[in-house]
Amino acid sequence: MHKLISLAWVFALISILAVGGGTAVLPEMQRMTVSQFHWVTDKQFRDIYSLGQVAPGPNMLMVMVIGYRVAGYAGAAIVAFAFFVPDCILTLFANRLWLRFSDSPWRHAVQRGMAPIAIGLMLSGTYAIARLSIHNAMSFAIAAATLGVLMWRRVNPVLLISAAGLAYVIFAGNALHLTVTIPHG
Amino acid sequence: MSEAGAARGRPTLIELFKVFLTAGAISFGGGVVAYLREYLVSANGWLEDEDFLDALEVSETLPGLNSVNMSVIVGDRMRGAIGAAVAVAGLMLPGMVIMMTLGVLWEQQRHNANVNAFLIGVAASAVGLLLTVTLQLGHKQFVRPLDMLMIAATFVAVSVCKISLGWVLLGLGPLAIWLYRPRGAVETAERFAHLRKRLHSHRAHWRH
């Protein structure tokens, strides 16, 4: 019960801070779930994030798997509720209020001012995932290749991401083979 | 709210649910918004393009996931609060089922070397994808000195100084709004032109 309450408030808090979307809160989510509450390790956080990439819809549905790890299906349900429902209600009413101020120059100031902060937070989120996943030349090459391809070509990112996963399986298999065979050789 | 959609006929709740369910089932890596624009604005004419872009701008400013915020706002605009709930439910349902299935499988298989290697490759690739999305979203900001300064300050505060996100937002948010305080007429046309251009590039990249 205690764990469910912690899950609820942690994920509700993170969602309310999600200016700039899901990527923007990744560093805060990592800090709270790994360092503060020890619900997952860094490696598990990275793996769960990756699961979100291969599922359709919002990537951040991956928070349910963190909840599941901590407290089973009840944990997953609580986290989904806490992460999405308060934000939806906030958005519903804030947007209705926003419409009333649609001619106010301050509305534009808020939007213009928050935009670079959101970009900065997204860079921080990207950096957090890079720290967890880029450890060798192969992972660096995968990230660079994905960036390069998406910048120049029309590709559905899920195809690239799946190909990257398979490429790393082959790479890791060979690397493992090498470390196994060297002592024998 | 609801009369906005009445001009060109509004969808039934079931039609609304179907569109968002499809978006939730087939969109990967940020393609949700481009898909919604195609179906809500172009294909069915349930929303004016201006309303859609306006909603996108609000979605990006308010906290929460952009695709979820977008669903709440356009759902509300077309069918009120119930429409918003139906839209969000449709968007999330397929992903929730698949995500939980993957989560349970991962829990059983997470010591498998191939599973681990696959997920490392996916995360590395996601870094490239996130960087692409950030660069596309910020292409306008990356050329303005003041914006660059705010981007750098935010990044340093979070990633280098490890300041908790709440404090970063409380400190830099009001500062940024003050720096961009109203000083003349707002160029609405210019604002939307930039959003249109970006959506176009989203579609160029993520439609197959």
Looking at residue A33, the DSSP 8-state letter turns out to be I
Q: Which residue, of B88, B110, B132, is where some domain finishes? A: B110
C-alpha B172/C-alpha A98 separation (Å) is: 21
C-alpha B153/C-alpha A26 separation (Å) is: 18
Say whether A150 and B118 touch across the interface (CB within 8 A).
Answer: no
pLDDT value of position B143: 82
Tell me: do B196 and B143 sit in the same domain.
Answer: yes
Task: For chain A, say whether B180 makes contact (Cβ under 8 Å).
Answer: yes
pLDDT value of position B30: 60
Please name the member of B68, B119, B207 whose beta carbon is closest to the beta carbon of A50: B119
Domain of residue B179, residue span? 113-208
Phi/psi region, residue A184 (left: phi>0; alpha: psi -120 to 50; beta: rest), is alpha
Query: Identity (one letter) of the amino acid at A107?
Result: R
Task: For chain A, say whether B190 makes contact (Cβ under 8 Å).
Answer: no
* Res B205 pLDDT > 80: no
pLDDT digits (tens, 9 = 90+) for A128-176: 999 999 999 999 999 999 999 998 887 888 899 999 999 999 998 877 6
Q: How many angstroms separate the first and last alpha carbons of chain B?
A: 34
Select from A166, A126, A52, A167 the least CA-distant residue to B132: A126
Tell me: do B100 and B13 sit in the same domain.
Answer: yes
Q: Which residue of B has its CA nearest to A11?
A: B64
pLDDT digits (tens, 9 = 90+) for A11-50: 999 999 998 889 999 999 999 999 999 999 999 999 999 9
B48: closest CA of chain A, how far (Å):
15
pLDDT digits (tens, 9 = 90+) for B3-31: 444 445 789 999 999 999 999 998 876 67
Tell me: do B98 and B2 sit in the same domain.
Answer: yes
Tell me: do B98 and B146 sit in the same domain.
Answer: no
pLDDT value of position B190: 61
Say whether B24 and A154 touch across the interface (CB within 8 A).
Answer: no
- Inter-chain CB pairs, A–B, below 8 Å: 376
* Res B200 pLDDT > 70: no
* Res B90 pLDDT > 90: yes
Tell me: do B173 and B208 sit in the same domain.
Answer: yes
pLDDT digits (tens, 9 = 90+) for B139-185: 877 888 999 999 999 999 999 999 999 999 999 999 999 998 887 65
Q: Which residue, of B65, B95, B110, is where some domain finishes? A: B110
C-alpha B99/C-alpha B105 separation (Å) is: 10
Q: What does the mean pLDDT of chain B come to?
A: 85
Tell me: do B129 and B158 sit in the same domain.
Answer: yes
pLDDT value of position B21: 95
Tell me: do B181 and B203 sit in the same domain.
Answer: yes
pLDDT value of position B2: 42
> DSSP letters of B66-106?
HHHHHHHHHHHHHHHHHHHHHHHHHHHHHHHHHHHHHHHHH
Tell me: do B99 and B139 sit in the same domain.
Answer: no
Confidence band of B187 (pLDDT split at 50, 70, 90): low
Q: What does the mean pLDDT of chain A come to?
A: 91
Q: Which residue of B has its CA nearest to A120?
A: B151
* Res A185 pLDDT > 80: no
Helix (H) or strand (E) segment spanning residue B21: helix B13-26
C-alpha B150/C-alpha A112 separation (Å) is: 11
Instruction: Using the CB atoms, write b or e for A117-142: b if 16+ within 10 Å.
Output: bbbbbbbbbbbbbbebbbeeebbeeb
C-alpha B27/C-alpha A56 separation (Å) is: 6
Say whether A117 and B176 touch across the interface (CB within 8 A).
Answer: yes
Q: Which residue, of B59, B76, B110, is where some domain finishes? A: B110
C-alpha B127/C-alpha A140 separation (Å) is: 9
C-alpha A95/C-alpha B62 separation (Å) is: 8
Total number of domains in chain B: 2
Cα–Cα separations (whole angstroms), residue A99 to A76, A105, B51, B57: 34, 13, 11, 12
* Res A177 pLDDT > 80: no
> Would you give the distance in Å from CA B114 to the centre of its chain?
32
Say whether B102 and A125 touch across the interface (CB within 8 A).
Answer: no
Q: Where are the domains of chain A?
A: 2-133, 135-185
From the number of C-beta atoms within 10 Å of its C-beta (0-12, 13-18, 19+), residue B168 rates as buried
Task: For chain A, say whether B172 makes contact (Cβ under 8 Å).
Answer: yes
Residues with Cβ within 8 Å of residue A103, at least 6 apart in sequence: none
Tell me: do B48 and B77 sit in the same domain.
Answer: yes
Task: For chain B, say whether A21 makes contact (Cβ under 8 Å).
Answer: yes
- Calculate the CA dihedral of residues B5, A105, A87, A55 and round it to 10 degrees: 70
Q: What is the rounded average pLDDT of the residues A98-105?
A: 81
User: Between these two residues, A154 and B2, which has the higher pLDDT value?
Assistant: A154
pLDDT value of position B4: 43
Q: Give ipTM to 2 decimals.
A: 0.91
pLDDT digits (tens, 9 = 90+) for B31-88: 788 888 888 888 888 988 888 888 888 898 899 998 999 999 999 999 999 999 999 9
Within 8 A of B181 by CB-CB distance, chain A residues are 106, 109
Residues with Cβ within 8 Å of residue B203, at least 6 apart in sequence: B34, B38
How many degrees, rounded to 5, is the angle at CA A142 between CA A140 and CA A147? 100
pLDDT value of position B50: 87
User: Between these two residues, A51 and B206, which has the higher pLDDT value?
Assistant: A51
* Res A1 pLDDT > 80: no
Tell me: do B29 and B130 sit in the same domain.
Answer: no
Task: For chain A, say whether B66 makes contact (Cβ under 8 Å).
Answer: yes
3 state SS of A135: coil
From the number of C-beta atoms within 10 Å of its C-beta (0-12, 13-18, 19+), residue A174 rates as exposed
* Res B116 pLDDT > 70: yes
Cα–Cα separations (whole angstroms), residue B45 to A64, B10, B11, B26: 35, 9, 10, 21
